[in-house]
Structure 1
């Protein structure tokens, strides 16, 4: 992509206003906390202290809107405390130009490294630097620096207290994450009805897993319906794929396929019902047609072999999901609900009775003669909840992550260097320019800069556009209406409410409100009232241009790293396939910790590749080692490789089943081939799969005695060959 096209794309992205559900109750709560702090400070201490405390409450409320799974009061307190420290140090050094510049450089550098701890930490740290630039310009003395810092922290305390006293949809983010995962499974089941090899994006499951990690305090209070359903959804996905895929299931047409489509439709309906119940904290309302489809005795008469086992396992897992999702089920924290005694009772024709069926208000199915039970789909042993360390214990982890980024090829380190140099340059330039209140330039720089190109440029354009509108409106109100101190405070609170309300709709929309908020707030004490719209907008433009120029001069392009990301995914998915295959030689049942860890590593590598590819798409550079067509073809091939491994996982033998010795050979050849191939991809060589090819060729005359193992090995090799073709074509096209 050329620079001109990249600038056009990022400009459109930055000025886009997205249609997102608004949260007026949460926005009103944040504005209420700000109003309480500002009103109390005005009445007791005056406008200068009120402005300081307002910034603390304002930033603490923004912290509660971040996409973090930590308790919202904790985020508010952490934001208030960190801003208080930043402002206190700024006050102490503000009178000494050299000391303040040194503090600004070091503090901004650390805020850039804070992105190593995640977006929430990076955003809070960047905001602290920006607000410090504003607050230290307020009339004050060093003697009152501690007082200003205290009232800033008090603003965070007030916002945290309001979150506790005025809760809005407790556990709402965790409920949404789990419900989204179940809804994604439901959509996957419906798509499999029409496309038996439909892809599945694992992001909702990864998000749900992240949301399931709780602090010890959260673990004692978490609702029962948020336990267990995510793990069951993870186990349902390979069963759905196995039931639908013609390679290991039923033919593409005929009575068996029709029956599979009925089961998939029923699974989608039940998963949607469970998702709705979890999202709203309501009892599960089961759709009678879906329950009837699962209870019919025709399954055993129509399906046979692997497809019949998959149907039975699916019915039992769906029953577990519905039982877990129902808030009426009493469950101890960290413990999965115990299955009822009659769960998974199978009739002679293969019908299965599950909790989903037992809880439905439908006519009971005809009683059938008992038969041997279907393959067990019981839950794994109860495990403790995933834990998230408290903030105090998180400090050494964050420090270790930041130290790990201190390497020349780290995008985080490059971002830290860029943002610190640009902020210092903007501060000096703002002091030299004859506009006054030069902090608008460095404040704009530090707020728009991000570790990647597209966000930095998009936010720069959005910041300029939003500032132009917001400052113009607010300045016009101040200069024409001449509002008093309390009216300015009310206008600042109203602007903050608008920002909280529009925070998820796009950076440009929120920036209009933020710019007006700053103008009204500083106008309470007369600071900046005489500064014109032109001065503020030009300084913002200077800050944005400095940020954009810095990325062009000292970039951290994602495009040259695409091959490395692809190699990481290849190695991860290869380990996943090898671990799954090894379990055929050493059966331990369908619940295997090593398989689970391999799945998580594969998902993380796949998402890292997709995010890198998305960022590279908007970068104005061209990578000669991997074309867009080759990247797309290689991605499709590796996704197919992972899907075949998932099908093999769906049919893992039960504990105590006869082992398949040939599987150990296949697992070893898979591991060696993919590890060597990943190294060759990084070195821009054509990958070879000699070990796996030799194993598959040797099996052509004497295949292993297993319905899936030989077929799966052939499909895995075909997918790897497609990867090699994609990368070879890319090399020849250079």
Structure 2
């Protein structure tokens, strides 16, 4: 993408207003916490103390709206503690410019590295940098600094207390994640009725798995309906694909296909009913025709062979879904039967126990090419330069320059530039509206505090509709909050608009000077996905050679690794499409074709996963050789893709040929799946072998070889084998 097109996309994205589900009660609760803190601070202390308390309660409330599966009260406490510590340390060093700049740079660098833990950790840590720059201007002594730090921490405590005392839709986000996963599988079943080779997006399943990981304390209070359906959805997905596929399931036409369509429609209805049950916390209400279809499906005589086996397994799994969803209204502990999914919950470490893992993640990012490290360096440099620039300018409130830069910067290009545009436009709108209100009402401290609370409430309500929308309310909130402290509107409005523009421009310039482009990493991401998909497919096929329960655990681990690699590729490719950087080594069309080929590889493995053999089933010896060949070829192909070479599949082809020539080879469905695997690999070779750079790279290598041969006088000894072509 060229720079003009990239900038146009940035402006469009930054000013986009999205429609999303609002949470008015949650927003009202966070605003109530802010109102309590401001009101008591004004009553008991001074407007300056109220401003400090407001910063703590406001930021703690904002932190609870970040994407995280941890309890919101934990996020509020963590945000309040971080803000309190950053405020106190900032003031202690504020008297000496060099010491404060050093502290600011180190703190900003650590906030940038916090993105290695999670985006939520990075956002909350970045907020502490911004609050440090503001609150250090308020106290006049170390004692007052400690007092302001304590007040800020109390703001976080108040928000956490309200969350504890006024629970609103407990486990709501977890319920939504699980319901979305079931709804995604239901939609997949409907699409399979018309397109037997439809693709399945694994993102809802990945989100549901993240939501399913709980701390030991959460595991004791988790609703019963959240224990088992995710595992059932995981098992249903490949069975649906196997039933619908003409190659290994029901034929393309005829009575069997009609029966398969009926079962797919029934599965969609049952899964949708379970999704509604879990989302609302009410018993499942499966339509009567769907229940009749389930009972008839248990004795189905229309389907034959593998299709009948898939139908029987699907009916059993759907019955378990109904049984599990019927306890959706209960908060009693759910104890699944032995062998059913959900018997042992996924445990997430507590915040304290997670610290060693976070530190290891941060340490692993301290390498030269890490986007997280580059973001941390940019953040530290921009915070320091912005502070110096804001201090040197003959304007008040110079800290708005570094605050804008710090809050705008993100680890990738598009978000940084889009947020810069959105922040400036939002600031302009918010400051303009707040200025008009101030001129019209001339509010005092209490009315200014009330207006600030109203602005914060609207921010909490509309936070996920767009960054420009949220920033307009943030700007209004700051104007009213400073007005509560006694500052005139004309002292804040022009300065904030100009300094916001300077801070946004500084952040954009910093990314341009020290970027972390995702485009050059695309081939590495593709190679990682290829290697992970090869291991997953090989694990599935190897299970047929030695049927045992241990293979199911290996298949599961390989599937999760493959999904993670696929998600990393999708994220990298989406970022690369928005970057003003030329894609070298892989054209856009080739990348899309390669993605489809690897999707086909994953689908072939999914079809085979639906029929994993039980213990005692007759083994398929040829599957072991094919699995080993596949594992070796995909590992080598991943290395070749990184080197811009076109991969080949000699070992896989030989293993499949030997399998086909075997006289007595059981499980023809497995062999059919192996043929689909090879076809997907050949599609990948075709996709990346037709890159626009292929002829150029191959031509350069041939010219070099020819010149070398001429210099050595050995043209007659040139090997007849052509050189490997580049991607």
Aligned with residue 715 of structure 1, among 676, 691, 701: 676
Are the counterparts in 2 of residues 266 and 290 from structure 1 also a CA contact under 8 Å? yes
Which residue of 2 is the match for residue 357 of structure 1? none
SS at match of 1:549: helix
> How far is the alpha carbon of 1:197 from its aligned partner?
0.5
Structure 1 position 701, deviation (Å): 2.3
Pick closer, same or farther for the CA change 1:478–1:16 going to 2, 3 Å.
same
The superposition leaves residues 591-612 of structure 1 with CA deviations (integer Å, 9 ceiling, x where unpaired) of: 8111110110011111110011
Aligned residue number for residue 555 of structure 2: 595
Q: Deviations over 1:288-343 (max 9, x none)?
A: 121122222696321111111110100000111111112269797473257xxxxx
Where in structure 1 are there 5+ consecutive unaligned residues?
A: 339-377
Q: 1:423 aligns with which of 383, 389, 414?
A: 383
Q: Deviations over 1:667-688 (max 9, x none)?
A: 1001001000011001111111
How many matched pairs? 694
Match of 2:53 in 1: 53
Q: Which runs of 5+ in 2 are unaligned?
A: 697-727
In 1: Cα distance, 2:618 partner to 2:660 partner: 22
Q: Is 1:634–2:617 an aligned residue pair?
A: no
What whole-Å deviation, never above 9, does each CA across 1:98-135 have from its counterpart, x for those lacking one? Answer: 21111111110110001001011001011111111111
| TM-score, normalised via structure 1 length | 0.92
Inter-partner Cα distance in structure 2 for 1:297 and 1:401: 49
1:397 and 2:357 correspond = yes
Instruction: Report the Cα offset of residue 95 of structure 1.
Output: 2.0
1:63 positional shift: 1.0
Q: Secondary structure at the match of 1:389?
A: coil
Please state how far the C-alpha of 1:698 moved relative to its aligned partner.
Answer: 2.1
- Alpha-carbon deviation of 1:725? 1.0
User: Which residue of the partner structure matches residue 88 of structure 1?
Assistant: 88
**What's the offset of the Cα at 1:178?**
0.4
1:370 alignment partner in structure 2: none
1:5-404 aligned within 5 A: 5-296=5-296, 300-327=300-327, 333=333, 335-337=335-337, 379=340, 383-404=343-364
- Aligned partners of 2:555 and 2:334: how far apart in 1? 22
Describe the SS at the equivalent of 1:296: helix
Change (3 A) 1:202 1:434: same
Distance in 1 (CA, whole Å) between partners of 2:666 and 2:582 is: 49
1:190-248 Cα deviation digits (max 9, x unpaired) = 00000000000000000000000111110110011111110111000000000000010
Evaluate the alpha carbon distance shift between residue 587 and residue 510 of structure 1 in structure 2; reply closer, same or farther with a 3 A threshold: same
Deviation by residue 1:369-396 (Cα, 9 ceiling, x = unmatched): xxxxxxxxx625x632111111111222
* CA contact 1:440–1:540 (8 Å) conserved in 2: yes
Deviation at 1:720, TM superposition (A): 0.6
Give how far 1:690 is off. Answer: 1.2
Distance 1:170 1:298, change over 3 A: closer
| SS of alignment partner, residue 349 of structure 2 | coil
- Looking at secondary structure, tell me which structure has more helix per residue: 2
Residues 575 and 723 of structure 1: CA distance in aligned 2, closer, same or farther (over 3 Å): same
Give the equivalent residue in structure 2 for 1:620: 580
Change (3 A) 1:328 1:526: closer
Alpha-carbon distance in structure 1 between the residues aligned to 2:449 and 2:135: 16
Deviations 1:37-88 (A, max 9, x none): 0000111111011100111000111111111000111111001001100011
CA RMSD of aligned residues (A): 1.6
Whether the aligned pair in 2 keeps the contact of 1:590 and 1:649 (CA below 8 Å) is: no
Q: Separation in 2 of the partners of 1:77 and 1:161?
A: 9
In the alignment, the residues of structure 2 paired with residue 395 and residue 421 of structure 1 have an alpha-carbon distance, to the nearest angstrom, of 26
Structure 1 residues 591 and 299: CA distance shift in structure 2, 3 A: farther
Do residues 439 (structure 1) and 399 (structure 2) align? yes
Deviation at 1:532, TM superposition (A): 4.8
Aligned-pair CA distance for 1:662: 1.2
Aligned twin of 1:522:
482
1:679 aligns with 2:639: yes
- Report the Cα distance in structure 2 between the residues aligned to 1:681 and 1:450, rounded to whole angstroms: 29
Q: Structure 1 residues 215 and 528 mapped into 2: Cα distance closer, same or farther (>3 Å)?
A: farther
SS of match in other structure, 1:451:
coil
Aligned to 1:488: 448
How has the CA–CA distance of structure 1 residues 297 and 397 changed in structure 2, closer, same or farther, with 3 Å as cutoff? Answer: closer
- In the TM superposition, what whole-angstrom CA distance separates every residue of 1:343-369 from its partner, at most 9, and x where no partner exists? xxxxxxxxxxxxxxxxxxxxxxxxxxx
Residue among 552, 562, 581 paired with 2:512: 552
1:626 match: secondary structure: coil
Is 1:213–1:387's contact at 8 Å kept on the other side of the alignment?
yes
Q: Shift of residue 535 of structure 1?
A: 2.0
Partner of 1:726: 687
Secondary structure of 2:67's counterpart equals: coil
TM-score, scaled to structure 2: 0.93
Question: Alpha carbons of 1:589 and 1:389: their partners in 2 closer, same or farther (altered >3 Å)?
Answer: closer
Q: For 2:187 and 2:414, how far apart are their aligned partners in 1?
A: 31
Distance in 2 (alpha carbons) for counterparts of 1:526 and 1:138: 13
Q: Distance in 1 between matches of 2:329 and 2:423?
A: 49
Corresponding residue to 1:450 among 398, 410, 413: 410
Q: Look up the SS of the partner of 1:695 in the other structure.
A: helix
Residues 1:701 and 2:661 are matched in the alignment: yes
What secondary structure, in the 3-state scheme, does the structure 1 residue paired with 2:464 have?
coil
